[in-house]
Amino acid sequence: MFSEDTEHQKTEEKLQSEPVMTIEAYVSGHVQGVGFRACVRKIALGLCISGEVMNLSDGNVYIIATGESAVLEKMISSLYECPGAYVREIEIFELEPRNFTDFSIIRLM
């Protein structure tokens, strides 16, 4: 029984030590006017990722997201599955870690 407790503790420590990072992503394609931002938010919330998503004036979508590296990768790969959208390219850049309380859709006037 002692070894099971030790293994459980090691697993918990490993899960707690996953690196948290912040990325920004620029998504191009047919991604505005098709519910893409709502899809991004749904994916992010399902993966416990915080951040923001907004339309840009050039027709692209901007995402800033904070989470564990592997989870962020899963979010990015899931963007191609958003219904109604056609994702042509995603440019990703790592930023200094930022804290967000939620994942929000930003609507610019």
Active-site positions? Answer: 37, 55
Of the candidates 65, 55, 57, the residue with the CA atom closest to the CA atom of residue 32 = 55
Mapped onto helix, strand or coil, the DSSP state of residue 34 is coil
Q: Which two tokens stand for residue 65?
A: 């997201």
Structure tokens at 78: 């899931």
